[in-house]
């Protein structure tokens, strides 16, 4: 297994000899405004450029979109991705949205799991911020709340859990307990909206993952890119050093992890 940290939540997973592109946000640095409902809306995003050319990033077998938000999928991805590429989504709603962009080979990942080239993919539930608070807020601004994580399983590979855009919650705890993943990718920049609620994990949440999956390798993604981040790679590195954590990886953009 190889995982390439591209930028933000955009990663490439090479699993059982199949290359998956996750959450392709491919626009250039500063091309879009910060989110009005979130912190630091005056800062344009992405804050950094892609680490290598788009053509290299999209040279994959399949795409997985964990949810349709503008920092996970954009018009640049629409324009450069082959419309016949295998494209996995979380729901019928996202299916119809991606179909409207001309993509033809779509499939919904289910909680029961689907099979793709000797790999089992299972949808996992999460909370993109506290559900009781963030879901009404998202709906009020016309942005969908729901997101998913994904479990990868194969006889030839370790079990991989991409947690997706989520805080630490009972749903994530149950996935770790039920699947016992050996590799876990978490989105950990603690992106925060104006009411102070986090949309994804902060350092306390990272601690929970480490405590609940002590034998897993934890990879911090979704770092140093969106305008509304409140935790940086440097913050995580400090936490890792001070607490002598050995199983937390914090890859820079462009880094390839061999797992």
Are the beta carbons of 245 and 239 closer than 8 angstroms?
yes
User: Model confidence over 151-194: pLDDT tens digits?
Assistant: 999 999 999 999 999 999 999 999 999 999 999 999 999 999 99
User: Model confidence over 104-160: pLDDT tens digits?
Assistant: 999 999 999 999 999 999 999 999 999 999 999 888 888 889 999 999 999 999 999
- C-alpha 106/C-alpha 122 separation (Å) is 16
Domain boundaries defined on the chain = 2-258
pLDDT, position 25: 98
pLDDT, position 28: 98
DSSP the chain: -EEEEEETTEEEEEETTEEEEES---PPTT-BPPPTTBTTTTS-B-SS--SS-HHHHT-SSEEE-S---TTT--HHHHHHS-TTSEEEESSHHHHHHHHHTT--EEEE--SS-EEETTEEEEEE---SS-HHHHHHHHHHTT------EEEEEETTEEEEEE--S--S-HHHHHHHHHH--SEEEEE-S--BBTTS-BSS--HHHHHHHHHH-TTSEEEEES-S-STT----HHHHHHHHHHTT-SSEE-PPTT-EEE-
User: Model confidence over 196-219: pLDDT tens digits?
Assistant: 999 999 999 999 999 999 999 999
**Structure-token pair, residue 110:** 């289910």
pTM of the model: 0.98
pLDDT tier for residue 14 given thresholds of 50, 70 and 90: very high
pLDDT, position 141: 83
CATH assignment of 2-258, given 3.40.190.10, 3.40.50.150, 3.30.9.10, 3.60.15.10?
3.60.15.10
DSSP 189-214: S--BBTTS-BSS--HHHHHHHHHH-T
């Amino acid at each position: 297994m190889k995982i390439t940290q591209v930028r933000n939540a955009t990663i490439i997973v090479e699993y059982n000899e199949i290359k998956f592109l996750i959450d392709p946000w491919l626009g250039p640095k500063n091309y879009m405004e910060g989110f009005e409902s979130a912190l630091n809306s005056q800062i344009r995003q992405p804050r950094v450029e892609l680490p290598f050319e788009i053509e290299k990033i999209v040279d994959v077998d399949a795409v997985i979109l964990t949810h349709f938000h503008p920092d996970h999928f954009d018009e640049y991805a629409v324009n450069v991705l082959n419309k016949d590429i295998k494209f996995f989504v979380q729901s019928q709603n996202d299916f119809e949205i991606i179909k409207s962009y001309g993509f033809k080979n779509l499939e919904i990942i289910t909680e029961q799991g689907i099979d793709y080239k000797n790999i089992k993919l299972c949808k996992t539930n999460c909370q993109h911020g506290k559900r009781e608070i963030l879901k009404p807020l998202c709906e009020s601004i016309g942005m969908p709340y729901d997101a998913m994580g994904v479990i990868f399983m194969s006889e030839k590979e370790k079990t991989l859990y991409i947690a997706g855009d989520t805080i630490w919650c009972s749903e994530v705890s149950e996935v770790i307990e039920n699947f016992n993943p050996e590799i876990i990718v978490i989105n950990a920049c603690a992106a925060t909206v104006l009411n102070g609620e986090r949309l994804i994990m902060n350092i306390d949440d990272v601690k929970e993952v480490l405590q609940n999956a002590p034998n897993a390798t934890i990879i911090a993604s979704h770092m140093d890119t969106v305008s509304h981040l409140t935790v940086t790679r440097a913050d995580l590195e400090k936490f890792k050093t001070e607490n002598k954590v050995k199983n937390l990886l914090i890859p820079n953009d462009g880094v390839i992890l061999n797992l």
